[in-house]
Structures are given as C-alpha cells and as structure tokens.
Amino acid sequence: MHTVNQILSQKQTNEIWSIGPDASVLEAIQAMADKRAGALIVLRGPKLVGIISERDYAREVILKGRKSHDTSVAEIMSSKVVTVSSSESVRSSLALMTDNHIRHLPIVDNGRVMGMVSIGDLVRDIISDQQSTIEQLESYIRG
C-alpha cells in the first residue's frame, strides 16, 4: 500500500505552490492558472495558515460580488485545514478527503509543509495499483 509521500515523490516538481495571506485573491487565482492548480497552500513564513481553492473563489468572491483585486486571500481562505503526515496511506487519505468534502490535502510533517496532493493524484494511484493486481492475477490464471 502506497503512502502520500510516494505520491509526492512521483510528482514532476517538489515545489510547494503557496501564497501569503495578505496577497490579493487576483494574485492567487493568477498563480493557480499559471500552475494549472485548483488550490494553493497559504503560508505566513513557513507556517501553514490556510488553503485557498477555486471553490473558495467562486463562493466567496464571484457569488458575493466582491472584487478579486480588493479582496485578500486571508478573507476567503479556509483556515481550518485538514492535513496528513507523509507516512499516511493513500487509501486513508482518500477516505479523509471524502469525509471532509475536500479536493486538496496538504502533507505536513512536524509542522513543516512537505507538499500537497489532490484527490485526482490519489485516485490515479489506486487505479494503477488495482490494474497491477488485475494483471498479476490474469498472469497467474494463464499460468
């Protein structure tokens, strides 16, 4: 069974995509677009203080008629962030995300942000693992 650390190590970059809480929402949305990401970790220095997602933008800016350049990340970010350690299993992390209705999960070890995985990252890993098991069973059956 894989861990989220193994998922992080397979990602194309080790860069932690983040933004500060005082940045404008426009800056956050631009950074998400540039990185083709659905969310950014919000850091004050090295400390995780929140997460901002496209969903936050839609619900807290667009639907409320706010202006992206006049609204700070801190005003709309989720400050109660669900996290896991890098040793957490992919399956339990996926269950945690499902239970909490979240799509992005920061990985934090000893207070240090290690990265973030998406629900898509975890589902891809589970499908790949299942495909491998199927192929092994088919090979065994064929003898």
E strand or H helix at 19: strand 18-19
pLDDT band, residue 140 (cuts 50/70/90) = confident
Output the average pLDDT for the chain.
Answer: 92
At 9-60, the pLDDT tens digits run 888 677 899 999 999 999 999 999 999 999 999 999 999 999 999 999 999 9
Matching residue, tokens 């800056």: 27
Which of the two residues, 143 and 96, has the higher pLDDT score?
Answer: 96
Count of domains in the chain? Answer: 1
Confidence (pLDDT) at 114: 94
Helix or strand or coil: residue 140?
helix
DSSP class per residue in 20-79:
-TTSBHHHHHHHHHHHT-SEEEEEETTEEEEEEEHHHHIIIIITTT--TTTSBHHHHSB-
Residue range 125-134: mean pLDDT, rounded: 79
At 72-116, the pLDDT tens digits run 999 999 999 999 999 999 999 999 999 999 999 999 999 999 999
What letters, b where the CB count within 10 A reaches 16 and e where it falls short, cover 23-43? Answer: bbbbbbbebbeeeeeebbbbb
Which structural domain, as residue segments, surrounds residue 76? 4-142
At 48-57, the pLDDT tens digits run 999 999 999 9
